[in-house]
Structure 1
Amino acid sequence: MISLKRIYIITGLSALVILLGVTAVSTWYTVDESEQAVILTFGKAGEAINEPGLHFKLPWPIQKVEKLSKETFSLKFGNNEKEDADLKGKKADTKMITGDENIVFADLVVQWRITDPAKFLYNTNNPEEILTDATSASLRSIIGSSKIDDALTSGKAVIEAEVRDLLSSLIEKYDMGISVLAVKLKDVELPNDDVRKAFTNVTDARETMNTKINEARKYQNKRTNEAQGEKDALISQAQGEKAARIERSRGDVAVFNKLYEEYRKNPDVTRQRLVLETIEQVLPQTEIYIMNDDGNTMKYFPIRPLEKEQTKPTEEGSEKNE
């Protein structure tokens, strides 16, 4: 029979082995590259551990490890459909009113990440639910101060930026240990087909107007550039003509100065020379006949017709001889 003392010894050794085993197993842990960990010492959270690899700690129950993901999460606001026949399949929680009192349905995606594991685990009871409520409040606040045209067309980027700023400020106040990375409006729609059709017509008219305005501005720029080119060409031509006339005037002045110098030296010769040059310029094709008489009678000398008549018989005679 086994004695009671031996049973105690075996039980004690077994408990010691189990305790040593638990201690050996619970004194180390590993952190993956996509994970982050926080050490709890008697339930009190310490600093976050983000470095991947093997780490050591005090054995359980003194310390334990909580691991959280470092990946980016996506919160899809507006995907919870409710049974409401009037909404025709739309999401009831995405129904909101714009600043100009129009109803729209807006779906939003928020990308967020855990930045402080201890605060994420223990500062709030349900951080994801709080993030959803904060997203709804932020989106409704911004949509409520925006016009329907901005929400449906070119103002989406501005709305996304304003929602992100407002949501980030709320999350910072709640101190939940998360940060908002991006906000994206997935879909903004009108409540029924008639309203959508009317808004589409307005949008098409606006696009047509913008197209016509752009075409008019393009034509205006084209004509302005052409007019500018013509103006520059005329200015260049005028400047060239100005320079040419100035140089020509300088040349004329130089010629005049030379003539004046010659005139001062020999007035009679220079005067006669100028008269002859002027006559050559004014009467380049004129024939001059010098007559030695008193000039009391007018004389007519058809010399050129007589020369032509004399030349014609001569040419006919030469042809006969041939």
Structure 2
Amino acid sequence: MSTKRLLTIIAMSVIGIILISAVFTSWYTVDESEQAIVITFGEASEPIVDSGLKFKMPWPIQSVEKLSKETFSLKFGYSQSADGEIESFDKDTKMITGDDNIVLTDLVVQWKITDPKSYLFNAENPQELLHDATSASIRSVIGNSKIDDALTSGKAQIESDTNDLLRSLIEKYDIGITVLTVKLQDVELPNAEVRSAFTAVTDAEETKNTKVNQAEKYKNQKLSEAIGEKDAIISNANGYKTARIEQAKGDVALFDKLYAEYQNNKEITKQRLVMETLDAVLPNANLYIMNDDGGTMKYLPLQSLEASKQTTPPATTTTETEAEKEEGSGK
């Protein structure tokens, strides 16, 4: 075989390989859970977040890097195997509080890739940088906290402060990562005996809070009852005031009528008022009217008639009345 023919075969083989490579490396797919970025001679394009079949220039002109859209979890201070075994790393979790006590602190950071370009090109190992930033954040917050706060009621504030500090650090580093949440898993003492003592303190704190809440509830209940009683007293007083005002208005109207009658018949009205007053002051007394000589005046016995009407049956009253009429006519 001649040298020319051999060169031709080699050239055709190379061209065939290039064509096959171009066909197989020009198409790629992006899954719904992925985001892709096309790199052209080392320069990254804008991220591709839409799923489907995509086209690019063949390798080595362009290449594709695919990154997940899922939320990742960084376990700081421990790791968990597939079968549920948990391994703690005291070297990472051992920290010093602001009042010079040692505590073990572990947490979980939820994060996701939001800028693939920065994630690929702004840091050699973004996840390691995230781990270091998490360590710096939690150590800084614990270092400014007292041990009582770290072990009892201050955990929520430590978690919030760590979240804010870590987010600001990651934003400053610009590594394409967004921190979603920081969840403080546990803060405890390295010594079992001391840990037991602080557990007792925590229980006492919770008991105190329970008692305070019960006292607050009792106070609110009694306050509500007192307010209700106050409103009832005010309502009764207003009702009594209104009744007295209406009674006074009635008394004034009655006095005006009596005064008008007095203007027309002064003597008769005067005697009537005297009789009514005596009857009101002495309701069960027998009244006798005296004349100027000291003798008793004859008067129609209205009180006796009223009493007989109340105690005597109607038929008997009618008979006595007829008898009285006959006696009167005989006289």
Match of 2:65 in 1: 66
3-state SS of paired residue (1:113): strand
**Which residue in the other structure is 2:275 paired with?**
276
Residue range with higher mean Cα deviation, 10-19 or 41-50: 10-19
**Structure 2: runs of 5 or more not aligned:** 81-87, 296-331
Equivalent in the alignment of 1:212: 211
Using the alignment, how far apart are the partners of 2:281 and 2:118 within structure 1?
Answer: 110
Could you tell me how far 1:230 is from its partner in structure 2? 1.6
| Deviations 1:67-107 (CA, angstroms, capped at 9, x unpaired) | 121211111111279xxxxxxx7622200011222211001
Deviations 1:282-301 (A, max 9, x none): 232222457899669xxxxx
Instruction: Give the 5 Å matches for 1:217-236.
Output: 217-236=216-235
The residue that corresponds to 2:30 in the other structure is 31
Match of 2:307 in 1: none
- 2:162, 2:182 within 8 Å by CA — same for their partners in 1? yes
**TM-score of the superposed pair, with normalisation by structure 1:** 0.83
The residue aligned with 2:315 is none
Match of 2:13 in 1: 14
1:162 aligns with 2:161: yes
Q: How many residues of Structure 1 are paired with residues of Structure 2 in the alignment?
A: 288
Q: 2:94 is aligned with what amino acid?
A: K
Contact 1:100 1:146 in 2 (8 A): yes
Q: Give the match's secondary structure for 2:45.
A: strand
Percent identity, aligned pairs only? 64
Deviation at 1:241, TM superposition (A): 0.8
Equivalent position SS for 1:182: strand
1:109-188 mapped onto 2 (5 Å cutoff): 109-188=108-187
Question: Which stretch shifts more, 213-222 or 249-258?
Answer: 213-222
Q: Distance in 2 between matches of 1:195 and 1:127?
A: 38
| TM-aligned CA deviation for residue 243 of structure 1 | 0.6
The 5 A counterparts of 1:276-315 are 276-288=275-287
CA distance in structure 1 between the partners assigned to 2:137 and 2:292 by the alignment: 122
Which has the larger displacement, 181-190 or 6-15? 6-15
Q: Residue 46 of structure 2: SS of its match in structure 1?
A: strand
**Corresponding residue for residue 267 of structure 1:** 266
Match of 2:304 in 1: none
SS of equivalent to 1:131: helix
Deviations 1:20-67 (A, max 9, x none): 111111111111111111111112222211111111111111111111
- TM-superposition CA deviations, 1:180-199 (whole Å, max 9, x none): 11111111111112211221
Distance 2:214 2:271 in 1: 72
Contact 1:36 / 1:48 at 8 angstroms: preserved in 2? yes
**Correspondence for 2:49:** 50
Distance in 2, Cα, partners of 1:246 & 1:54:
92
Indicate conservation of the 8 Å contact 1:34/1:70, yes or no: yes
1:77 has 2:76 as partner: yes
Task: Please say if residues 37 and 46 of structure 2, whose CA atoms lie closer than 8 Å, have aligned partners that are also in contact.
Answer: yes
Structure 2 CA distance, aligned partners of 1:198 and 1:36?
51
2:103, 2:188 within 8 Å by CA — same for their partners in 1? yes
- Please give the secondary structure, in 1, of the residue aligned with 2:100: coil
Match of 1:257 in 2: 256
Aligned to 2:236: 237
Q: Which runs of 5+ in 1 are unaligned?
A: 82-88, 297-322
Residue type of the alignment partner of 2:74: L
| 8 Å Cα contact 1:39-1:48 kept in structure 2 | yes
Letter in 1 for 2:45: G
Change (3 A) 1:292 1:28: closer
Kindly indicate whether the alpha-carbon contact (under 8 Å) linking 1:75 and 1:111 is maintained by their aligned counterparts in 2: yes
The residue type paired with residue 19 of structure 2 is L
Query: How many angstroms apart in 2 are the aligned matches of 1:279 and 1:19?
Result: 136
| Distance in 1 between residues matched to 2:289 and 2:159, nearest whole Å | 106
Distance in 1, matches of 2:250 and 2:291, equals: 42
Partners of 2:51 and 2:168 lie apart in 1 by 31
In structure 2, do the counterparts of structure 1 residues 74 and 80 end up closer, same or farther at CA, with 3 Å as the change threshold? closer
Q: How far did 1:262 drift?
A: 0.8
